[in-house]
Amino acid sequence: MIATVEIAPMGRLRAGRRWKDRAFTAFLWACAFLAMVPLVLISVYVVSRGWHALSVNFFTKEPAGPLDPSAGGIAQSFVGTGLIVGMATLFSVPLGILTAIYLAEYGRGRFAGAVRLIAEVLLSTPSIVAGVFIWSLVVVAMGTFSALAAALALTVLMWPVIARAAEEILRLVPQELREGALALGVPRWRVILRVVVPTAGAGILTAIMLAVARGLGETAPILLTALGNDFINTNPLQPTDAVPLRVFADARTPVAALHELAWGGALMLLVAVLGLSIAARAVSSRQQKRMT
């Protein structure tokens, strides 16, 4: 005897549901589009205003005199930014990664909590505070504005970015890899340096690039520490120019030719930050492929 089984009919997709689905999809698209609008507007505007300034002189010359300001460039700003951000990266990368390793691999209890809290507070501290802090601590003590002081101010801002982002990435490294290495009789610190950190490598690189991008564009902290300079300076203990400082200074003058240079500087900052962000995205997507 064969038992017959009643099969309940599948519910039908009603027109109302379909319409709701479409409306909501359209709404989400609109939101994404709206979010893109300011970015596109800013980019287009900065490019349209700034690209006139780009010339050989712009990259190779120091500011010309007031008689013909358009003949000058902002070479000193590029050199200064390179010097300041370079030093800041040199300070904040080891500090940030070591902090991240401590927090992710060893940190437990009160002290780790305090370190994490400090990093988080620094992350959301207005950057001018970092400037004032280093000004009172370094500039006043040394009796001079300097690239070194600016680099220290940026380190205060970049260190927590690297520390917190790298900590999260180190936590993503599967526990099985640590155990696999420990079970081979490898000391813990070597497991971290040779297995955990390389596995998280691309992610850590991303964190560094994002921190550098932040450091590149900061104005307030270096205003109070690097001061600015009309000439190329490579001495870390002397006042130094930087691209954001130059944009700020030139934009405040009534001289049209200097406004042009300011737009050019702004464009270069935009390009650098965009470039770093895109590179960071590329690196992290490669990382994701490898982790899975």
Partner 1 sequence: MRRVEVADLSAWYGPKKVLHEVNVVAEPRKVTAIIGPSGCGKSTLIRCMNRMHEEVRGARVRGKVLFDGMDIYSPDVDPVDVRRRIGMVFQRANPFPTMSVFENAVAGMQLGGRFSRSELKVRAEGALRAAGLWEEVKDGLDEPGARLSGGQQQRLCIARALAVEPEVLLMDEPASALDPASTLRIEELIEELKRSFTVVIVTHNMQQAARISDWTLFMLYGEVVEFGPTSKMFTRPDEKRTEDYITGRFG
Closest distance between partner 1 and the C-beta of residue 173, in Å?
9
The token pair that represents 221 in the structure block: 């902290």
Closest distance between partner 1 and the C-beta of residue 193, in Å?
9
**Residue 291 identity:** M
The token pair that represents 124 in the structure block: 């959301």
The token pair that represents 256 in the structure block: 């049209």
Distance CA 279, CA 183 (A): 36
- The stretch among 86-94, 142-150, 195-203, 205-213 that binds partner 1 (CB under 8 A) is 195-203
Pick from 5, 35, 184, 256: which binds partner 1 (CB under 8 A)?
A: 184
Determine, following the binding rule CB under 8 A, whether residue 291 of this chain makes contact with partner 1.
yes
Q: Specify the residue, 19 or 189, whose C-beta has the smaller distance to partner 1.
A: 189
DSSP-based three-state secondary structure for 238: coil
Distance CA 15, CA 6 (A): 27
Pick from 17, 22, 171, 194: which binds partner 1 (CB under 8 A)?
A: 194
Is the torsion defined by CA of 80, 83, 86, 88 positive or negative?
A: negative
Distance CA 92, CA 11 (A): 60
Whether the Cβ atoms of residue 91 and residue 151 lie closer than 8 Å to each other = yes
Q: Specify the residue, 21 or 179, whose C-beta has the smaller distance to partner 1.
A: 179
Q: Specify the residue, 153 or 166, whose C-beta has the smaller distance to partner 1.
A: 166
Determine, following the binding rule CB under 8 A, whether residue 198 of this chain makes contact with partner 1.
yes
Closest distance between partner 1 and the C-beta of residue 199, in Å?
6
Chain centroid offset of residue 201 CA = 17
Query: Please, which of residues 86-125 interact with partner 1 by CB under 8 A?
Result: 108
Q: Which residue(s) pair with 240 in the sheet? A: 227
DSSP-based three-state secondary structure for 204: helix
Q: Specify the residue, 76 or 199, whose C-beta has the smaller distance to partner 1.
A: 199
Determine, following the binding rule CB under 8 A, whether residue 179 of this chain makes contact with partner 1.
yes
Determine, following the binding rule CB under 8 A, whether residue 195 of this chain makes contact with partner 1.
yes
Q: Specify the residue, 130 or 202, whose C-beta has the smaller distance to partner 1.
A: 202
How many residues in the shown chain lie near partner 1 by CB under 8 A?
Answer: 23
Determine, following the binding rule CB under 8 A, whether residue 176 of this chain makes contact with partner 1.
yes
Q: Specify the residue, 200 or 216, whose C-beta has the smaller distance to partner 1.
A: 200
**Closest by Cα among 241, 245, 275 to 262:** 245
Determine, following the binding rule CB under 8 A, whether residue 183 of this chain makes contact with partner 1.
yes
Q: Specify the residue, 53 or 104, whose C-beta has the smaller distance to partner 1.
A: 104
Q: Which residue(s) pair with 93 in the sheet? A: none
**Closest by Cα among 222, 234, 242, 240 to 135:** 222
Binding stretches for partner 1 (CB under 8 A) = 108, 174, 176-187, 190-191, 194-195, 198-199, 201, 290-291
